[in-house]
Amino acid sequence: MPATTMTSAQKAAGLRIERALAKPGATGMKGLLLWTEAAFPKAIAHEVLKAASKYTPGASPTGMTPTLASPERGGFGFLGDVSYDWGTLPADDASTDPTVAPVSPTTQATPSQPASSSWIADIGKAFQVAATGALGVMQAIDAQKLFNTNLSLAQKGKSMIPSNPMQYGLPAPTANIGLAQSTQNTLFIVGGLVLAGIVISSYNKRRRG
């Protein structure tokens, strides 16, 4: 259930979504991408836009570049902690105003028409994977429900419902989230095992030499 009393951050997110969906052609495929960029954190939006970019040849996938997090930012770096750099955006979307959502080249190049079944399948899978990796279990379930509702509207070429995920306890669209802690811990363990294997292998070679 959505929160009955809205905080200032929730109001800002709501205005951000309303402004995004007020743009020309905010229906069908384009409408879903506009809503996704406005409603969800970059880490999730990136994966959806990356999947959508396959259907817009010639357009820069997202305007974002995934980069490994550095230890200075508290990430494991080579062990898989990921952050996202938005790169250069159009002047009217490069605002630091949290109520103004960026619009990626992929979204700009996506038509405002009903989505094909293959597009729906790819976008749906991309969102599911991103939400599961970046959010808690219950948050991912709630996010998926909201997304599926507008995904079905995109398939019909209709306007999106201006759902505000923050009202359902999800992170702000401006939140800098990455991989879930459980995923980071798994990557840390796997990375440690790989490193240990390399050390042991090197030691055995020296002994045989």
Name the token pair of 7. Answer: 């905080």
- Average the pLDDT over 64-69 and give the result: 42
Q: Cα(28)–Cα(86) distance, rounded to whole angstroms?
A: 24
Residue 94 lies in a domain: yes
Q: Is residue 166 in a domain?
A: yes
122 vs 79: CA distance, rounded Å: 27
Is 193 part of a structural domain of the chain? no
Domain residues for the domain of 60 are 8-178
Examine residue 172 and state whether it is found in any structural domain, yes or no: yes
Structural domain count of the chain: 1
How many CB atoms within 10 Å of residue 50?
18
In a domain? residue 168: yes
Please give the pLDDT value at position 193: 57
Q: What is the pLDDT of residues 167-188, one digit of tens each?
A: 999 999 999 887 444 444 544 4
Instruction: Specify the pLDDT at position 94.
Output: 44
**137 belongs to a structural domain:** yes
Q: What is the pLDDT of residues 6-47, one digit of tens each?
A: 899 999 999 999 999 999 999 999 999 999 999 999 999 999
- Domain assignment present for residue 119? The answer is yes
- Measured distance CA(123)–CA(148) in Å, rounded: 10
Q: Is residue 139 part of a domain?
A: yes
Which class for 197: exposed (0-12), middle (13-18), buried (19 or more C-beta within 10 A)?
exposed
Q: How confident is the model at residue 114 (pLDDT cuts 50, 70, 90)?
A: very high
pTM of the complete model beyond 0.75: no
